Each structure stands twice: as C-alpha cells, then as structure tokens.
Amino acid sequence: MVLQDKVALVTGSGVRLGQTIAQKLGQLGMRVVVHYHHSEKGAKQTIKLLPGDESRHLILQADLKDVADIKKLVQKAEKKSGPISVLINNAADFFPTPFFSTSEEEWDHLLKLNLKAPFFLAQTIAEGMKKRGEGKIINMVDVSADRPWSGFLPYCTSKAGLSSLTIGLARTLAPEVQVNAIAPGTVLPPPDHYEMDFKESIERSLLKRIGVSEDIVQAVEYLLISDFVTGTIMPVDGGRSVY
C-alpha cells in the first residue's frame, strides 16, 4: 500500500510508544490522527513532532472503553481528515492485579480498553477499508499473551484475546485488509517497574537487554510496507519468547 498522504489513526499516541509510532508514520508521509484520552498535553506535543504543517494532522479525544465514543472518534476523524487507511491499536493500560484482590472494576477496565476497544475500532473502520480495497490494522499485544504473569492476569488475558482477535480479523477481512500484531518484550518499562523485575526481564531474554521504542517502530514500518503479511503475531522481544 502506498502510504503517502494516507490517513492513520494511532490510539494512545500522546505518550510513550504511541507518540513514537505516530512520529514515524508522519515521517513516512502519512496524515496522522493522534488519539488521546487524558494526555492532551502529550498529544499536542506529538503533533509538534510530526513533519510538515500541523494542519495535515489531527488531535481527537475519546474514551475507548465506550463504543459510542469510538464511533464518534472515527466519524470525526474521517470527516476532517478523510478515510482511515491504517489503524494502530496501541492504547492500553497495565498495572498489577494480584489474583485474590482483583476487583470487577479492574477486570472490566483492562478488558474494555485492551480488547473490546480494538474490536470495535476495527469493526467501525474496516468496512470502509474493504470497500476501498486496501487497509492495514496493527495490534499491539505482548509476550505475556502466551506466558501469563501471575500478578497481571487480567492484562495478560486481554492481550491473549487480542492475539486471537488479530488472527480472526485477518481471516475475516482478507484479502483487502492485512491485520497483524506486534508482541513487544520489555520496552520502555513503566515508571513503577521494579528494579528486580527489570533485571529479570533482561536475564530471561536471549539478547540480554531490553528493547527501545525504535525496535517496535521498525516492526510497524515493515508491516505497513509489506503487502504479503497478514495474520502474524511478530515477537519483538530480544528472544524472550523462546528463552
């Protein structure tokens, strides 16, 4: 697919990895819809990092746990920027949920944002992609989808579901739309990541280091450029998944 001047929606692109992905898509000549929920300041910073005139790009706020908000987000994006050709389902939440103290609210929050939202975003956008004859969807999953961490079961369950959804969508939307996922290992650990866990992540990888955001961005670029890859879960984890 020719990326120049096509529209890409990157969820959660006001912070961290989402911001870096959005920046790369701008460098590839795409017009980027920067989505945020609470990180308005970060979203405005993302727009400033994108090449070209800021008017090429768009900032939109939405609570992705709400399907009505998802539909409004897509409607506004396509009305102002044009048809969405690329969807990067990056927005997610991650925090400890010890099994015996996990609340229903915590479970619902993680499953809604990490799994339900990508489903309904794809449902809302992919019909137009199929009609136009092209489209790309990339989901951000996690190495923990296959090796769940006992203290983060709702998160790991949501990512396992997203891996399954990726393959299901690839089958459902073929041949016009390619759907793939990237499964990062330890990349940009969250601020409250314990030093002991950090060291353990390094030791449980073949390359004995953590990744950087550019490792993930390069994988995103490959999946966007290639038109012969779909239904793939690509580990970018320094060999942690085969350690």
Domains along the chain with CATH numbers = 7-242 (3.40.50.720)
Cβ-based burial of 190 (10 A; exposed 0-12, middle 13-18, buried ≥19) = exposed
What pLDDT is attached to residue 196?
Answer: 44
**For residues 1 and 236, what is the distance between their CA atoms, to the nearest angstrom?**
23
Task: Tally the residues of the chain.
Answer: 243
* Average pLDDT, consecutive stretches of 10 residues, N- to C-terminus, the chain (243 residues): 97 95 97 97 96 93 98 98 98 96 98 98 98 98 91 97 98 98 80 58 81 93 98 91 78
Tokens 């048809």: give the residue. 83
How many CB atoms neighbour CB 159 within 10 A?
Answer: 27
Distance of CA 219 to the CA centre of its chain: 12
Strand-by-strand arrangement of the 7-10 sheet: 58-61, 31-36, 7-10, 84-89, 135-140, 177-184, 233-236
SS3 120: helix
What pLDDT is attached to residue 193?
Answer: 54
**For residues 28 and 22, what is the distance between their CA atoms, to the nearest angstrom?**
10
Sign of CA dihedral 15, 114, 188, 28: negative
How many CB atoms neighbour CB 93 within 10 A?
Answer: 16
